[in-house]
Amino acid sequence: MDAASAPATTPTIALLERLVSFDTTSRNSNLALIGFVRDYLDSHGVSYRVSTDASGQKANIHAVIGPQCAGGIALSGHVDTVPVDGQPWTGDPFSLRRRDDTLIARGACDMKGFVAACLAAVPDLQARKLARPIHLFISYDEEVGCGGAQRLIQDLGESGLLPSLCVVGEPSGMQPILAHKGKLNLRATVHGKPGHSSDPARGVNAVQAAAEAIAWIAQEARRVATNGPFDPAFDPPYTTIHVGTVQGGTILNIIPSHAEFTMEWRYIPGDSPYRHMEQMRRWIAETIEPGMKMVDPACGFSYDIELEMPGMSLPPDHELTGLIKQLTGSNSTGAVSYGTEGGFYEKAGIPTIICGPGHIAQAHQPDEWIAISELAACDRFIRRLADRLVA
C-alpha cells in the first residue's frame, strides 16, 4: 500500500485496517480475528467471555467495560462477511485502501467499521468511572442466519450479564432505526415418479408440480403487494414473498422424480409468515397433490423451515429511542426491510435499536466502502454514550 492510498492513522481506521485483513467470509473460521481482538482487550485489562459454535471454529466475544454486572447497554457488531467471489474488485478486498474520503475493503461498511470504532473507544471507556457497564458483543455468522447471536444469547443466560439495552451497529448512516422485517426461509421438496417422457401419464413430473406451485407463489406475492396488510414505515410497505432457487430433473427424456425450491417471506410486524405458509400448503394439497397421488400415493410435497429471523420493533416512545436520538442529534427514526441480530436480542428481552456508520447500499458490493466522516461520527456517538453512563 503506497502512501497515497494508505488510510490515515486514527485509532479507529488503524483497527479497521487490521480487522478487514482477516478473511472472515461466513464459510471460514473467524478464530484468527477473535485472537487479535482478545489480545487487544487483554492489553487494556478488559474482561470478556468467549462462546463458540459446535465445531469450535467460530467464536463470539462478550466484553464488559465498567461494573461487572447486568444492566447497562450493549454495542453489538458481527465480524463475518459475505463472499467476494465473482465480484469485480479493483484491488485486494482484504487490504484497506483509501479513495478520496472513503475506505475500501470487504466488511469496511458491513460491519467491521462499527466494531473498529467500538474497540478504538476501549481506552477512553476504561478511563471513565462508568456507573453502568458497556457491553461489547462481537459475533459470528450473522450473514448466514445469526447463529452467533443465538449462541451469545445462550451465554448471556449462563453468565447472568444481560444488558438492559442494545445498539446494533448495522450501517444506517448513524440514524436510529426502530424496526426491521422478520424473515422465514422454507425449502419445498417435490417427490414425483420417474418414467419415460414419451408416456407422461405413467409418471409424476416433479418439475412441473414445482412450477405450478411457484406460479401460485408469484400470484400470491402480487396479491399481497396490492391488498396488504401494509405498514408505511417500510419500503416496500408489505410482506414480500420470493422464490430464490429451483432445482430438478436429470435429462430431458426422463420424467423428473425430484425437484425442490427455496423461498422466503420477509414479513412486516403484525403479519405472520406461518399464516402465508399454511395458505400455500393448503392450496398445494387441494390443487396439485391429488393428481400426483392418483398415480402414486407416495408422491407429493414436503417442507423444511431452514431459518427464521424474528423482526424487531422498538416503540417510538421507548427510553432507548429518545437516548439514541439525543446522542445522534437526529429528529427522525426509520425502519428497514433487511434483517439483523437485533430481532434475536429483542426476542431475548433486550430492547434494541439499530444505529451504525455507513449505508446499507454500500454493503455486499464490489469495492465496498465507508466514508471516513461516518467513522468519525460513530466515534463521537460512542463517547457521548459513555458520558451518559458515568455516575
**Active site residue ranges:** 80, 142
First to last CA, the chain: 44
Asked if the bond preceding 312 is cis, omega within 30° of 0, the reply is no
Going by C-alpha positions, the residue among 353, 347, 351 that lies closest to residue 154 is 347
- Point out which residues pair with 390 in neighbouring strands: 130
Contact in structure between 138 and 77 (CB atoms under 8 Å): yes
Single-letter residue type at 104: I
- CA atoms of 275 and 233, how far apart (whole Å): 22
| DSSP sequence for 274-305 | HHHHHHHHHHHHHHTHHHHHHH-TT-EEEEEE
Alpha-carbon distance values, 375 to 120, 171, 177, 379 (Å): 11, 11, 18, 6
